[in-house]
Amino acid sequence: MKRIKTIIILIFAVMLTAFYTTGCFPGGLDLFSSGMEGIQENTIAAQSSSEEEDARDDIDTRLNELKKGLVSAPVVLSHVSGEQIFGSGDRELIFLKGSAEAGNTVEIYVNGTLDQDGIEVDSNGIFETLNGVDIIEGKNIVELIAVNPSGRKSGPTKFSLELVVPQKVEYTLYNNSTDLVEIDGVYYTTESKPGVYLRGTYIPGSSIFIQANDRIVGEVVSSDTGIFTLSDIQLDTGDNEVAVWAITTDGYISAPIFESIAVFKDMITPYPSNLTGYQNGNVNYISWNTSIDDNFSTYKIVRVEDPCINPEYPDNDVIATISDQNTISYIDDDVEEGRSYYYTVWTLDRAGHVVSSNVLAIPKPVYTISISKVEAFTDISVNRREWFYQYYEITNTGNVTLDLQPIMIGIKLSPEPEVDMEITPLWEVHIWNPDDSSKYYYSNESIYESYISDWVNTYGHTTTEEETTYSSDGLTKTVTITETTKNTEKNGVNLKRIMTVTTVTTVTDTDLTTGIDTVTIATDTTTEIVEPEKIGSLIEDLDPGEKIKIGVKIQNISAANNEEIVVHFHFAPVDCAGYFFIDEIVSTGDIYCKSSGRN
């Protein structure tokens, strides 16, 4: 019988707890009045002994004590669970109202964190959050717990609220519209009032307002794609605050989005680094001294292959960017064997100052070439209007890209013709590219006489000119013979040379009536500075190790049988600035060709 009593007590205890903690009771059921008495009467009717009559009073007493110890949960009146609240920012204050037992207080938890406590329930059983409750964007779980004066707490009343925030204004600040270096809280500059560039996105067609330091500095309209920009937003040295908000076409005003920027003015340019390095195998090692700039930003390593280009930042190839101020070396393993590379290290500070190191070449540039004869012809005889060919292969044996400059040595005709008596040229000579017949590097289609370049005329060369004239009365004949001898002093191969020109003029006046000659001789000597005689056009862009085939072709135009021509050319390597290196010249040697007469 005692077991039955215990079971009944437990059942009613559970029911009371459930009803109180949920803040509601089944319709019309009063567990502590007639309903309870009915249950008790049915229980007593089931008992047959006097002991059961005595137990009824004991159960009533214990249930009343249990009722007094329970705290009913609050009931929310202002909101329903799952309600959507529309806000203008990522946080919003809401104001809750509800009911609970008079004299109790209410605790409010948002997403598991206590937001407020000690909210009093008035004598009418009503409570309100006068200071509001902070919820965040998205779904929020709100829990309310009632606390009685003795400190006992009810079970939680849980419900959800969703804060819906329309599209936010999004934007980024940059140093300018060209470089687009993003400003992230701190901006170093050389100006006291720098202008920055803003770019953002929002709903198309919206009016966008930009404020800097409590002053509206611009109003723009977002494009059809939602893009908006504003240039030259002026900031001050020190702390700055930028705010951006929007008004849509239907009148909605977005919450302002703030950005704080600290501006520091820096007028000191970093010290340049001293760049050194070496090559080991197919790897180039470079190093430099540490920057001591307090506002150091990065090192930029720039590399070029053209020795006439100063490796500039940002114009040329940046092969590495180093942000660690204490890193002062770099290994470049992306190199081609046999090629020279040119490096600079640029030190940048956060204000935008840039300074270059010295230019370092690894390895040192070498300008050398070689030449070899290809397919030498044994038959050097050509008829008129026939061609003779001699081919050569020139190789860039240096480590830089170079050009080739054809240089004239001489054209020697044998026997020496009487120029004044020739009607047509005797020979023509060309230097060309047999792999591309449209490329000619030198052409002379009118060869009447021998020619020796002054720079190589170290054995002397004399030319003679004769002119005959008569006096107006026809009684005197004058013959003027001019002999010009040129002789060049040989010296270092990479130097200009001094040529001495001696001119002997002999004038013979003959009196035709008497036959008496009067001879006058005058000698004049001068000196000139001469250098190699560049001819034709450059053979361009020969890379290290690259070979090019050239041909010297000679045509017999009108040379008589057994007349000969000998031509001789040099080729010199030329750097990117157009300077050629005579000490590295190569030669075709003498190229012979003999006329076999008419066809």
pLDDT in tens, 66-99: 556 689 999 999 999 999 998 877 789 999 999 9
What's the pLDDT at 582?
86
Which stretch of 376-385, 457-466, 467-476, 511-520 has the lowest confidence by average pLDDT? Answer: 376-385
Cis peptide bond N-terminal to 74, omega within 30: no
Nearest to 424 by CA among 384, 379, 387, 455: 384
- Residue 270 included in any domain: no
- Residue 191 included in any domain: yes
Query: In angstroms, what CA-CA distances link 308 with 154, 418, 583?
Result: 86, 49, 20
Residue 427 has pLDDT above 70, yes or no: yes
Q: Are 150 and 184 within one domain?
A: no
Q: Are 460 and 534 within one domain?
A: yes
Q: Are 207 and 137 within one domain?
A: no
- Which of 362, 378, 403 finishes a domain? 362
- Residue 502 included in any domain: yes
Q: Are 342 and 477 within one domain?
A: no
- Residue 468 included in any domain: yes
Residue 175 has pLDDT above 80, yes or no: yes
- Residue 21 included in any domain: yes
Nearest to 160 by CA among 183, 144, 177: 144
Average pLDDT over residues 447-476: 90
72: DSSP letter: P
Q: Are 501 and 563 within one domain?
A: yes
Query: In angstroms, what CA-CA distances link 519 with 241, 242, 281, 395, 516?
Result: 103, 102, 76, 58, 10
C-alpha 289: how far from its chain's center? 25
Residue 44 has pLDDT above 60, yes or no: no
H or E element in which residue 388 lies: strand 387-396
Max mean pLDDT range (22-31, 279-288, 458-467, 574-583)? 279-288
Provide the percentage of residues in the chain whose pLDDT is more than 90.
69
The neighbour count for residue 73, using CB atoms within 10 Å, is 24
What's the pLDDT at 461?
82
State the DSSP string of 501-530.
EEEEEEEEEEETTT--EEEEEEEEEEEEEE
Q: Are 476 and 555 within one domain?
A: yes
Residue 32's region, left for phi above 0, alpha for psi from -120 to 50, else beta, is: alpha
What's the pLDDT at 548?
96
Write down the pTM of the prediction.
Answer: 0.60
Residue 581 has pLDDT above 70, yes or no: yes
- Which of 53, 69, 85 finishes a domain? 69
pLDDT in tens, 359-403: 999 999 999 999 999 876 667 888 988 999 999 999 999 999 999
User: Would strands 75-76 and 427-432 be described as parallel, antiparallel, or unpaired?
Assistant: unpaired
- Residue 427 included in any domain: yes
Residue 28 has pLDDT above 60, yes or no: no
* SS3 at position 59: helix
What's the pLDDT at 50?
52
H or E element in which residue 593 lies: strand 591-595
Provide the percentage of residues in the chain whose pLDDT is more than 70.
87
Residue 146 has pLDDT above 60, yes or no: yes
Q: Dihedral sign, CA of 376, 378, 380, 384?
A: negative
Average pLDDT over residues 196-203: 96
Q: Are 323 and 382 within one domain?
A: no
> pLDDT-based confidence at 24, cuts 50/70/90?
very low
Q: Are 229 and 282 within one domain?
A: no
Average pLDDT over residues 567-574: 96
Nearest to 425 by CA among 563, 298, 253, 287: 563
Residue scoring higher pLDDT (59 or 560):
560
Q: Are 561 and 450 within one domain?
A: yes
What's the pLDDT at 423?
83
Residue appearing with tokens 């006096």 = 471
Residue 424 has pLDDT above 60, yes or no: yes
Burial of 441: CB neighbours in 10 Å, binned 0-12, 13-18, 19+? buried
What is the number of domains present in the chain?
5
pLDDT in tens, 429-455: 999 999 998 999 999 999 999 999 999
Residue 21 has pLDDT above 50, yes or no: no
Residues in the chain, how many? Answer: 599
Which stretch of 67-71, 154-158, 370-374, 546-550 has the lowest confidence by average pLDDT? Answer: 67-71
Calpha distance 413→427 (Å, rounded): 9
Average pLDDT over residues 9-16: 52
Which stretch of 67-76, 287-296, 506-515 has the lowest confidence by average pLDDT? Answer: 67-76
- Residue 50 included in any domain: yes
pLDDT in tens, 293-310: 989 999 999 999 988 888
The CATH number covering residue 240 comes to 2.60.40.10
Q: Are 459 and 586 within one domain?
A: yes
What's the pLDDT at 398?
95
Average pLDDT over residues 130-154: 94
- Which of 265, 296, 328 finishes a domain? 265
Q: Are 61 and 82 within one domain?
A: no
Q: Which domain holds residue 577?
A: 369-595
**Beta strand residue intervals within 237-353, DSSP E:** 238-247, 257-265, 276-280, 283-287, 296-304, 318-322, 329-332, 341-349
Q: Are 44 and 121 within one domain?
A: no
> pLDDT-based confidence at 32, cuts 50/70/90?
very low
What's the pLDDT at 577?
87
